[in-house]
Amino acid sequence: MTTIQEVHKQSIDNPDAFWGEQARLVDWHKPFTQTLDFSRPPFAKWFVGGETNLCYNAVDRHAAKRPNDRALVYISTETDEEKVYSFAELQREVERMAAIMLGLGVGKGDRVLIYMPMIAEAAFAMLACARIGAIHSVVFGGFASGSLATRIDDAAPKLIVSSDAGMRGGKAVPYKHLLDEAINLAANKPAKVLMIDRGLDKGFNKVDGRDVDYATLRAQHMDAQVPVTWLESSEPSYIPYTSGTTGKPKGVQRDTGGYAVALASSMKNIFCGGEGETMFATSDIGWVVGHSYIIYGPLIAGMCTIMYEGTPLRPDAGIWWHIVEKYKVNVMFSAPTAARVLKKQDPAYMHKYDLSTLKHLFLAGEPLDQPTHEWIMGELKLPVIDNYWQTETGWPMLSQMPGIEQKPLKFGTPSFPVYGYNLKIFREDGSICDANEKGIVGIMPPLPPGCLSTVWGDDARFVSTYFSLFKEPQVYSSFDWGIRDEEGYHYILGRTDDVINVAGHRLGTREIEEAVQAHPAIAEVAVVGVADQVKGQMPMAFAVVKDAAKVATPELKQALEKEVMKKVDEILGAIARPGRVHFVTVLPKTRSGKLLRRSIQALAEGRDPGDLTTIEDPAALEQLKSALGA
């Protein structure tokens, strides 16, 4: 039997043979002449000379073989819509969208910015761009005008595809006025804006000469046939912008052939998804998970993919499991935040549905704490696999790989380096850490297929940002702390820039959060470092309790705070004890579930929390202020 260690070793020792074999999982219009060109480190080119197309691999080849099989299921619990598209129907819609784009002057290499809610037309737009060789950049729907403007300026799109509004929690979230303001702020104004009118914002303004209606143009292209534009493997496919970037955002440039191969390989070896099966990833196309595992990955593998607009709690906490039962979902992908939200609900919602088709639940996007991992695996009675990766890598860096070998699961760890990634834990002098020694997670180049090839329009920034951790050796920095145990399982301890320096002791926020969450009364917690005149920084915790009655009076709050601090003392020692534990009912997060740590820290230090337009629940901010006495 082949082990994951053997596969990993082969991928590092003989990448040409290993990736040459993986490349057979996708269709090539023209075969590649060289598997890897690493003549200009740290820049890597994969499958040189080969020509392929992401849309062809995701749609056309399956439509030819299995035209009537399900390809895309669009579900909105916000508008009570549900629609199933076969591969043949998906191809028709993508070709209509492609014809519209060509008619609006978009061609190979042009950028198209997509600012959309989670609706089927957003998938059509992404795949249409891939079909005609245009480069798409999806910006999370509802992003603030200023943030959107900087991305418009960097990508300089010829066309923007948008919608009147998204929906969240039963309320319309208008987009058009944000987009208009962003275009006014931007220097690189698009020639055209293609609008999908959902009828959610009756009062949106149409700009004459610039804004065009999707439904009208679609009606003109119902029988459109748009041939695939074949791209050389290294030509760019799309540009996601890294979230949380200050100043000019970093556009992560993704290639075409390497990305197709990496996704096809990961669907087989990590996610165990095959032709005719169904995958449900609960993310948003505004983030990299949505690109890789809602749109391209499952479709390339010949799976049906579910595109969901809604929350995990509407109409009730059983909605995701209802979808799993109804569509016989085989592979599910979500985030630790979502798992923690569900942890606060009655588990009866989970047990009400037949989940027997589900092989695995994968979680990623932030560190998965042990209590949550243990809880959800215990409730589902199936493997819950933590995996670790980044916008920059495009697919997992650390994961279990059940398609290769079934290894024991440990709680709270994303497990092992994935093949292709020569991943090490480094000391700050560039040497490699021993087992159980904390260091910086890095990758020895070349980066494997699917990872960023450069920063859009800025090769120098690619090198200076990602490869300047040490003078020697040249290493890609993840900017995350990690640790490896004696058995080779890896643990992520939080960002290197989320380190709290308490009287010279460097403490990761993740470590303290795990310790706080070890107290049985705590459901969720965020820990930030707050400036302290004596110690430099002090940890401050904001905790959500499982039972509000536990903090119903000031006396109860004080008692629980002491208990939590004692638990941290027991696990990490007094140096890690938070200066305060504030109790709230909700933590401020983006609509994709990321904690707004920097905003929490700023409020705790009496500073401006910055742009909070992506916050999921504005009431969370008021609670923080109230807890802090602000």
Same domain, 83 and 127: yes
Task: Tell me if 220 sits within 8 A of 188, measured CB to CB.
Answer: no
**Is residue 108 over pLDDT 60?**
yes
Same domain, 369 and 509: no
Question: Could you report the per-residue pLDDT of 77-105, keeping only the tens digit for each?
Answer: 999 999 999 999 999 999 999 999 999 99
Q: How far is CA 351 from each of CA 324, 346, 354, 362, rounded to the nearest angstrom?
A: 12, 10, 8, 19
Task: Tell me if 268 sits within 8 A of 25, measured CB to CB.
Answer: yes
In this prediction the pTM is: 0.86
Same domain, 76 and 143: yes
Please indicate, yes or no, if residue 189 is contained in any of the structural domains: yes
Please indicate, yes or no, if residue 597 is contained in any of the structural domains: yes
CA gap 112, 358 in Å, rounded? 36
Q: What CA dihedral angle connects 217, 221, 225 and 227, to 10 degrees?
A: -20
Q: Which residues constitute the domain of residue 586? A: 503-628
What residue type is 559 in one-letter code? Answer: A
pLDDT confidence tier of residue 308, bands split at 50, 70 and 90: very high
pLDDT, residue 614, reads: 67
Which one has a higher pLDDT value, 142 or 512? 512
- Total domains in the fold of the chain: 2
pLDDT, residue 14, reads: 97
Give the mean pLDDT of 620-628: 83
Assigned token pair, 209:
């000469």
Please indicate, yes or no, if residue 374 is contained in any of the structural domains: yes
pLDDT, residue 169, reads: 86
What lies within 8 Å, CB to CB, of 498 at 6+ separation is: 508, 509, 510, 529, 597
Please indicate, yes or no, if residue 487 is contained in any of the structural domains: no
Same domain, 57 and 170: yes
Give the mean pLDDT of 507-515: 83
Task: Tell me if 90 sits within 8 A of 139, measured CB to CB.
Answer: no
Same domain, 509 and 424: no
Same domain, 388 and 524: no
CATH of the domain at 507: 3.30.300.30
Give the mean pLDDT of 398-406: 97
Same domain, 566 and 603: yes
Same domain, 87 and 198: yes
Which one has a higher pLDDT value, 132 or 340? 132
Please indicate, yes or no, if residue 498 is contained in any of the structural domains: no
What lies within 8 Å, CB to CB, of 191 at 6+ separation is: 104, 105, 158, 159, 210
pLDDT, residue 409, reads: 96
Place of tokens 């748009």: 226
Same domain, 474 and 568: no
Please indicate, yes or no, if residue 267 is contained in any of the structural domains: yes
pLDDT, residue 244, reads: 40
pLDDT, residue 576, reads: 86
Question: Could you report the per-residue pLDDT of 597-609, keeping only the tens digit for each?
Answer: 878 888 888 888 7
pLDDT, residue 630, reads: 58
> Of 480, 511, 528, which one is at a domain's C-terminal end?
480
Please indicate, yes or no, if residue 283 is contained in any of the structural domains: yes
Question: Could you report the per-residue pLDDT of 122-157, keeping only the tens digit for each?
Answer: 999 999 999 999 999 999 886 778 888 989 999 999
Same domain, 569 and 524: yes
pLDDT, residue 247, reads: 52
CA gap 379, 317 in Å, rounded? 14
Task: Tell me if 366 sits within 8 A of 337, measured CB to CB.
Answer: yes
Give the mean pLDDT of 202-218: 95
Please indicate, yes or no, if residue 488 is contained in any of the structural domains: no
Same domain, 424 and 539: no
> Of 480, 513, 530, which one is at a domain's C-terminal end?
480
Same domain, 388 and 473: yes
